[in-house]
Structure 1
């Protein structure tokens, strides 16, 4: 169904941000598998089909988290779609080395365009992408449109899990809009990069739209060599 673009996704050099692919036996890759397990357990009584990933401010690493979570869930056997919903500073196309001529904005503005015209099938089994497309002048209006709601409903019928890489929540309203439409939201906090007031403000903004906060990921924490996980799982050389 989504095979036509697979040739465009041949690896184009090392991708250090995708540690779950480049170093699958590393401590950090194992932590992503732990996060995957925690997410699965967080929604035992409900079918978790859509996840939003956001942060309080820029530079927290939420796009890297989104990409590695998508890889990790795909490795579990789920059919996963990662959507770059940051229509202001998109990065998914750079992370996976794919073109960004068309993407989410194309689907939202051109009703003749089908999902199959936009989706990229990556070299990782079960992992698919929709890039942002051209940066629009009205991101919030597009994401809050009925067309976006219909698109999410349609994607839930095709994929086991859809992950939305959102912009930071304090700066713009985009993250609030999509978090309200998804089953759960993950909040990324950068160690040393977000003060307590900003984090609390972000949490308040999510709660205002009744976002289901699954939990927070404390990012960029140094792991010492004598750490328990380092000893047990080892490091790639």
Structure 2
């Protein structure tokens, strides 16, 4: 549902249906804030649409009103401070402050899946969480600028792939399911550029293995034994890291 709302909102923005797109993206974030990473792409599309003053006001106002109305029944204090506090301290940081929450990514490659708090210092002045958040924000800004300067449908899809994969691979506190937002725009991109088919196939396989890990449904003894072998986890994580670096460096022509 979250991915459907997020991608549908981007489609509506691309079709210059800004108000409805803003509503769907608001609902997406109210369900779960994980697709907040799509916001830079939406802002670029919105700016490229050159909205009228009325459209601009409504596109900003509707999400605010929707959030206030839907949050009101659940607020345990003054509404606006409660919403801001909930997102900044609960929803956005998440409830599992680990380097990785079962995600086969950069952190699993070096530290495995054993729970380690991401408060650990990787440099004398910054924690793993702080560092990953910083580079994540920098990459989102960089991606938005590049998309703005090379704006077309294929690059919108590729940018969604890049920021989703970058977030999954390099941010801390990632769950196994957070690689899913990579797959849908990557699948669509395959119709425009055959180069991406091989990436889609491999990332689909690593996603399925990652989601299977720890849940073990259906029970497949050989696969369970394979995934419980630590080098297997690190090898799959390495594949994800290599593909992330490769895709981040790729470009598409209009």
Q: Which has the larger radius of gyration?
A: 2
* Shorter-normalised TM range: under 0.3
Q: Which has the higher contact order (CA 8 A, sep 6+)?
A: 1
Q: Which has the higher strand share?
A: 1
Q: Which has the higher helix share?
A: 2
